[in-house]
Structure 1
């Protein structure tokens, strides 16, 4: 009887083992072998920073298509690879960027890496993957030159806050479908490529070492930031052709010439031109949008303050050569609290016209050709002095 019972149990045991083997094989078979091996290399190359548990689910005895950050197509190819915990403040990853392994994911359409301490370079073997549409590797320690070739399918490229150097590849700005390009906070140098044919909506090249002038840019742009470079020359002709702009930051460069009046009539909520060499009078073609920020500080602008700035929520005109009286519309906006910031210090104004302002507003008008009212001195930066008035000799002998 015992022998018979053991004989009956043996087929059942073999059946269970067969089902287990088939299940394990099926789990592995859900992913293409090349992609399976590539993910194993990625896992060996990268690790969680202290406090991160991103790779906790990467157990290769299970289906890799169920791993955190991995999505697969129906035919078992990796199409999305989002490396690291995307939640704000979560620790990132460390290690060497696994270029060779990632290049084998031939169906990859989206590749992202959360901010961390991943080192290494970037090669065309990855950036030119034929299906790649989204590439975001911001906030790591990647370095070296940018690749010369990029996938024609790319729509978004964000390589900001790394240590990339060298030139911006001309091919990158000629991709037919590229809408967003963010290369800010790197060490890129030389000029912006002269031919920009991509239908860009968002272009951010701030905080690099770019020099030269600004080439013609696509009229599709809504967001443009070139701040914190070494760019120079006149930009009026370029800006006039960007009527869709809602965000413009050219601060901390060496731009010169007049500020084109057209930009004030755009639907621009943030206009930042501070610390350049813009000169001449302001002649706005229209009133700025209500609540907008206009920062023209630390230039060489002259003439009268235009009343078209009155709808703005914050206006910085300090450090210029403005003269005459502050328009009543602007003074009323500050007194009524509609304009929360009005900085007029370090100009040649002969009439301020701003009386009491609410505590919610910050107004400063010292170092002009008239002493500012006591009510508008409290908000002045301490390093700029308080309540001072220019000597009459600097104001043509006028007493205000």
Structure 2
């Protein structure tokens, strides 16, 4: 657009009370810093001789841009490539900013801190790099922060814990390091920091959390503070970390759809206080010992394999397994000493059952995963030393 055309445009805008001139210039800068990936036609409507409020992804209220969705949001559509222009921080009325999955590169501009009205910020599945600017903590109206599946590194800004409106924080699948900051917002419902390089213990988790995933990090210590008083959790994934100590019995009473604690350093017995109604429970590859509680027989998919469990398998498990109420029962690589399965019983086709490499002869109905190995029975010397 020529300078003359721009001033004509401004005159028409002023006369009709339309888009703010600063917002107009910012949209031009955004357009110059981004391009459609092959197959994308998102910017086809961005003709600056027309009203920008009718551009794809631009939403206005009065003379201001209040929402900006960059890229075609339809699933599977190609995204954009380029970088996010720092001038975007001048869209001071912006409440929502999203970038669809694509090849957005470079750092997050610290100028995002100027968007004091921002409530929703999502730029998942791009190639953003650098650190998360500490200035982002000044967005005190922010409710959703989703920067997942990028190349972000460095620490999570400690100031995020001061944003009391936050309800969703999704930073998974990055290269973030350092500790998990204290996130005690009473509004926080979803927290996903999985697949990073975070370390240290967990200081504080709010009672409002319903979805918590910290898997595939290097987090350590007890999980008591993670679930101290929380009774709202419906999904908990702490797998592939270095958590240690016992698994608190109360975690098995939460109304969850999935509990994943596998591949940690948990020790001690498993002692749920009542029947466990969680559909999937995975505590495999830990150092848990003692007997198997019959309260776990109501779990549809149960992974207790690769621990130090001993004693006989309760009869309730066999009955529900043969009735098809249990879909997966993995007990392999423990020190179990008995299971009563009738040779005439037939395992339902949809069920998987494995009890090999224990201190007993396994039944013929087993259906073990390939990774369980070929050895059927644990060496007698190991079984004797374990009892001792």
Q: Distance in 2 between matches of 1:383 and 1:202?
A: 33
In the alignment, is the contact (CA less than 8 A) between 1:268 and 1:288 conserved in 2? no
User: What secondary structure sits across from 2:29 in the alignment?
Assistant: helix
* Displacement after TM superposition at 1:60 (Å): 1.6
**1:165 and 2:165 are equivalent in the alignment:** no
1:273 matched to which residue of 2? 261
* Displacement after TM superposition at 1:286 (Å): 2.5
Q: Judging changes above 3 Å, is the alpha-carbon distance between structure 1 residues 77 and 302 closer, same or farther for their aligned structure 2 residues? A: same
In the alignment, is the contact (CA less than 8 A) between 1:138 and 1:158 conserved in 2? yes
Q: Distance in 1 between matches of 2:386 and 2:79?
A: 62
In the alignment, is the contact (CA less than 8 A) between 2:312 and 2:336 conserved in 1? yes
1:375 matched to which residue of 2? 365
Q: Distance in 2 between matches of 1:124 and 1:353?
A: 64
Q: Distance in 1 between matches of 2:386 and 2:212?
A: 42
Gaps of 5+ in 1: 1-19
Task: Flag as ranges the 4+ runs of structure 1 deviating above 6 A.
Answer: 20-24
**1:145 and 2:124 are equivalent in the alignment:** no
**Aligned equivalent of 2:326, options 327, 334, 339:** 339
**Aligned equivalent of 1:88, options 59, 63, 75:** 75
In the alignment, is the contact (CA less than 8 A) between 2:166 and 2:185 conserved in 1? no
**1:125 and 2:115 are equivalent in the alignment:** no
Q: Distance in 2 between matches of 1:158 and 1:111?
A: 11
The number of equivalent residue pairs is 375
1:320 matched to which residue of 2? 307
What is the RMSD computed on CA atoms of the aligned residues? 2.2
**1:343-374 C-alpha deviation (Å, 9 max, x unpaired):** 11100111133453200111111101112111
User: What secondary structure sits across from 2:277 in the alignment?
Assistant: coil
**Aligned equivalent of 2:165, options 162, 170, 177:** 177
**Aligned equivalent of 2:356, options 345, 350, 366:** 366
Q: Distance in 2 between matches of 1:353 and 1:44?
A: 71
**Aligned equivalent of 2:378, options 365, 390, 397:** 390
Q: Distance in 2 between matches of 1:57 and 1:260?
A: 56
Gaps of 5+ in 2: 1-7
Q: Distance in 2 between matches of 1:124 and 1:398?
A: 58
In the alignment, is the contact (CA less than 8 A) between 1:27 and 1:62 conserved in 2? no
Q: Distance in 2 between matches of 1:222 and 1:213?
A: 20
**1:203 and 2:191 are equivalent in the alignment:** yes
Greater mean deviation of Cα atoms: 26-35 or 311-320: 26-35
In the alignment, is the contact (CA less than 8 A) between 1:58 and 1:64 conserved in 2? yes
User: What secondary structure sits across from 2:118 in the alignment?
Assistant: coil
User: What secondary structure sits across from 1:394 in the alignment?
Assistant: helix
Structure with bigger gyration radius: 1
* Displacement after TM superposition at 1:23 (Å): 11
2:92 matched to which residue of 1? 106
2:338 matched to which residue of 1? 351
In the alignment, is the contact (CA less than 8 A) between 1:207 and 1:229 conserved in 2? yes
In the alignment, is the contact (CA less than 8 A) between 1:149 and 1:172 conserved in 2? no
